[in-house]
Chain A
Amino acid sequence: MNAASMNADATTLDTFPKLLLEHARVRGDRPSIREKQFGIWQAWTWAEVAEEIKALACGFAAMGLKRGDKIAIVGDNRPRLYWTMTAAQAIGAIPVPVYQDSVAEEMSYVIEHAEVRFAMVEDQEQVDKLIEIRENCPRLERIIYDDKRGLRDYSQDFLCSFEEVQEQGRAYAGAHPEFYDGEIAKSDGADTAIMLYTSGTTGRPKGVVLSFDNVLQTAKNSAELEGLTADEEVLAYLPMAWVGDNIFSFGQSYAAGFCVSCPESGDTVMHDLRELGPSYFFAPPRIFENILTSVLIRMEDASSLKRKMFHYFMAVAKRCGIAILNGEQVSFSDRLLYALGNVLIYGPLKNVLGFSRIRLAYTAGEAIGPDIFDFYRALGINLKQLYGSTEASVFITIQPDGEIKADTVGKPAPGVEIKIEDSGEVMFRGPGVFVEYYKNAEATAETKTPDGWVHTGDAGFFNDDGHLKIIDRAKDVGRLNSGDLFAPKYIENKLKFFPDIKEVVAYGNERDFCTALINIDLTAVGNWAERNNIAYGSYQELAANPDVSKTITAHVEQVNRDLSEDPNLSGAQIRRFLILHKELDADDGELTRTQKVRRSFIAERYKPLVDALYDGSKTARIETEVTFEDGRKGVIKANLQVIDAQTFDAPELLKQAS
């Protein structure tokens, strides 16, 4: 599509269904979506997708789904579930994607609150879940499933298959030929495109209402900024209920016309990534971290020649790779070495990871460790950070090319204004600002001012280059009793940058000193244990190993040393900490579904431990109830060691340094 036609269309193509018809017309024979099935990538062209969606939309209408009704979408990233979104939008219904791994109780709340009438689900697992919660959700009339496996004996009349809906739709479209196009024309940019429930670190999830203008304008702006074209390759593997997936795998695909690929299954994402070689990739820091950890672990097991080559060329890359990527001056010999490294190490490594063709990679959601960030950039992967939220339709700030720093989140995204409140809270205004929280005027008023500014709840500041730096949640930033600043997230992230540490919860607000609960990373520490002939039978046993404690203590002391160098934060060094006996888990409510720690909940649940950290005792006893994956509950008991860490005086260290 050339620029002139894009501009001309911009006013009329203001919804996804309208864009779909346009793509079917302009690039009907180009792939729109792919899915790997039976080991082979199957593609649907835009024209085929347009037909599928038409049949589906008319089927919904034939079954009684009306303008303004909500349809829940539950499942992994599947083409049919993406089609459901557009099909619902075509007839003015509102898609409500729900996290597919939420337990029945969580799902029940969203479905009831959103007044969902229809649900499109992936398979038997989700059907069972919905049947279970149906009693609490009297409005839920119909459940449609994609994969009929195992559902043969289900004869409830509110159940039907995707194919049945489309069949009805084709008949309905035949009987009402004007219906479909007429319905699409009725919607415009101001109408609601989608409702996304934020997982929320506190309280019940809130339904964020986004209009077509919100999603489409943001998608278009960002696609333009990064020069996304119809030739991008993208893998859709993040939960559909998350706003990021809605923008990266849906909004931008419709805005730029590129093809989205769905992985074969959740377990095969890394394989599929490698086969596909995406040109554009988004992942939360956790995933980049996991990839790096697995690379490092596998290098440990490689032959010594390979290992030496890897370490040598990674050192070269660290020295000059980032500068080369940023287009800075680099000596000729370094350039030569880097080119050699590219042939021997970086190229093959990127190929194994599926990053051979990558042009743009984003990470967001949490701070990424500088080492991890630099590793990818040194390999020549243009990894950037962005800062966003559901309420902003993702983009608030993006790091512009050539101005990438590990510790900032970049400059305001196109069309977005940002201001910092006196309290330090970051506020923004822009095209992606959400319409409202569904049925929650109070929360809407708290978050969004009448003139369109939105509270992010994050504390931050602009540095000298005009880049935004986020330090913590505004409400989490506290003070120690001594009056020193305590930014828990900042401390936790510093610790989490060590591969051995998976999760940290720091305490210190209105306390005398700072403490932490630490989760070891089973992959990294387990591998280390294996190499050092340390036997362990369980996570709990490994976590209690004295050698592991020693390593973690060293990490904590390293962080303390770093903190002591910053006059603002030196008071918040960790004096005492504990290594937890179980992994923090979303099923136990300790993490949100997006894997963020719920600090206050954990403080309550592990109260005996937190008390022990402050009352000077050497050990602490804890009994915790855990929920297993099949929903049963059990109790884990443990005696944990409280460990004292060395702290450092700011001035003394400065003396040492000089």
Chain B
Amino acid sequence: MTAATLERPAPPAQSDASDASAPNPRRNFSEELLKVEDISLSFGGVKALTNISFDIRKHEIRAIIGPNGAGKSSMLNVINGFYHPQVGSITYKGQTRSQMRPHEAAKTGIARTFQNIALFKGMSTLDNIMTGRLLKMRKNFLWQALYWGPALKEELEHREKVEEIIDFLEIQAIRKTPVGRLPYGLQKRVELGRALAMEPDLLLLDEPMAGMNVEEKEDMCRFILDVNDEFGTTIALIEHDMGVVMDISDRVVVLDYGRLLADGTPDEVRANQLVIDAYLGVSHD
């Protein structure tokens, strides 16, 4: 993450803080971070994705929505290399591949959270987030076992970064608590913390607010906006809560039955008749 590339568009002539959480017309992004073209993915006879093309621009919050089984999670899995599409190409940071590999994705700055929490239940919050630093560690495990000199220094550097994340996510009180004992909403937050520990350029969030109550959702929204704002991280998220999606995302991709239905700003998507019919429901009058 370099500061020079993260510069925001010129500040607006006049701004209103109360609009901070609303879709913000002044945020326009031009630089492409990731582009998928003509992606098709099938499992045997089941077509999960068909000819999907869209892009994610640097520094935006990109939402992927669609009814159950529309292929949203599959799309994220294609982006970070869990699934390999049969057709199509992925261009990430100027490099075009026919498929991503998970370790490449992680190394090049793609981090994600999962729909079903995938934390180490027996480990503390701190340790869980520390695992997110693994790729950044330069010393091998023998050095680390020695815990002396350069290895100690490195550990301290990583710990500092992790503490910043703990402070950022306001989870100081559970620093040493095993995550298995934490309520669901907090576990989600820890998972976000672990993803952030990778200092990702692109953060993929799979239903970050599923199963949360109103207050937890609001907190999570705030954190997502703050991550985007403070760290300049590009975010692609899947979410079912339409209020949340329309509020925080800059652009929205709508999938239905593995096909791309619409792509545009929240307002455009909301006004799109295809989307209304397929997803938000057909009105019967």
**Residue ranges of A at the interface with B (Cβ–Cβ < 8 Å):** 37-40, 127-128, 131, 149-150, 152-156, 264-265, 267-268, 271, 628-630
**Separation of A37 and B172 alpha carbons in the complex (Å):** 9
User: Which B residues are CB-close (under 8 A) to A268?
Assistant: 172-173
Chain B interface (Cβ < 8 Å from any Cβ of A):
11-12, 15, 17-18, 20, 160, 163-164, 166-168, 170, 172-173, 175, 214-215, 218, 222, 225-226, 229-230
Verify A265–B229 contact, CB threshold 8 A. no
Q: How far is the CB of A634 from chain B (nearest CB, A)?
A: 11
Measured between alpha carbons, how far is A629 from B172 in the docked complex, in Å?
21
Contacts of A154 on B, CB cut-off 8 Å?
Answer: 15, 17, 20
CB-based contact B170/A265 at 8 Å: yes
Add 8 more A-B contacts to A38-B163, A154-B15 (CB < 8 A). Answer: A38-B166, A40-B163, A149-B226, A156-B17, A264-B173, A628-B214, A628-B215, A629-B215
| Chain B residue at minimal CB-CB distance from A37 | B167
Q: Given B20, B172, B214, which contacts A153 in the complex, CB threshold below 8 Å?
A: B20
The CB with the most chain B CB atoms within 10 A, among A39, A153, A264, A267, is that of A153
Q: Write the chain B residue with the least CB distance to A271.
A: B173
Secondary structure dominating the interface of B: helix
List, sorted by A's number, 26 A–B pairs whose CB atoms are closer than 8 Å: A38-B163, A38-B164, A38-B166, A39-B163, A40-B163, A131-B17, A149-B168, A149-B226, A150-B225, A153-B15, A153-B17, A153-B229, A154-B15, A155-B11, A155-B15, A156-B17, A264-B172, A265-B170, A265-B172, A267-B173, A268-B172, A271-B173, A628-B214, A628-B215, A630-B214, A630-B215
Contacts of A39 in B (CB 8 A): 163, 166, 172, 175
Contacts of B11 in A (CB 8 A): 155
A residues in contact with B167, CB < 8 Å: 37-38
Q: How far is the CB of A630 from chain B (nearest CB, A)?
A: 6
Q: Which 8 A-B pairs have the closest CB atoms?
A: A267-B173, A38-B163, A154-B17, A268-B173, A264-B172, A39-B163, A155-B15, A268-B172
Residues of B within 8 A of A150 (CB): 20, 222, 225-226, 229-230
The answer to whether B229 and A152 touch across the interface, beta carbons within 8 angstroms, is yes
Q: Looking across the interface, which residue of chain B has its beta carbon closest to that of A36?
A: B172
B17, B18, B167, B225: which has the most chain A beta carbons within 10 Å?
Answer: B17
Q: How far is the CB of B15 from chain A (nearest CB, A)?
A: 5
B163 touches A128 (CB 8 A): no
How far is B218's CA from A268's CA once the two chains are assembled, in angstroms?
22
Name the residue of chain A whose CB is nearest to the CB of B226: A150
How long is the Cα–Cα vector from A568 to B229 in the complex, in angstroms?
66
Cα separation A629 to B217 with both chains bound (whole Å): 13
Give, as a whole number of angstroms, the nearest-CB distance from B159 to chain A.
8
Distance (whole angstroms) from the CB of A18 to the closest CB of chain B: 36
Chain A residues whose CB sits within 8 angstroms of the CB of B226 once the complex forms = 149-150
Q: How far is the CB of B194 from chain A (nearest CB, A)?
A: 17
**Which of A40, A127, A155 is packed against the most chain B CB atoms within 10 Å?**
A155
Q: List residues of chain A with CB within 8 A of the CB of B18.
A: 131
Q: How far is the CB of B162 from chain A (nearest CB, A)?
A: 9
User: Which residue of the partner chain B has the closest CB to A629?
Assistant: B215
Instruction: State in angstroms the CA–CA spacing of A40 and B159 once bound together.
Output: 11
A267 to B166, CA, bound (A): 13
* Nearest neighbor of B12 in chain A, beta-carbon distance: A155
Determine if A630 and B20 form an interchain contact, defined as CB atoms under 8 angstroms apart: no
Please give me the residue from chain A that is nearest to B174 by CB atom.
A267
Which residues of A have CB within 8 Å of B170?
Answer: 265
**Assuming the A-B contacts A39-B163, A629-B215, are A149 and B230 also in contact, with contact meaning beta carbons closer than 8 angstroms in the complex?**
yes
Tell me, rounded to whole Å, the shortest Cβ–Cβ distance linking A154 to chain B: 5
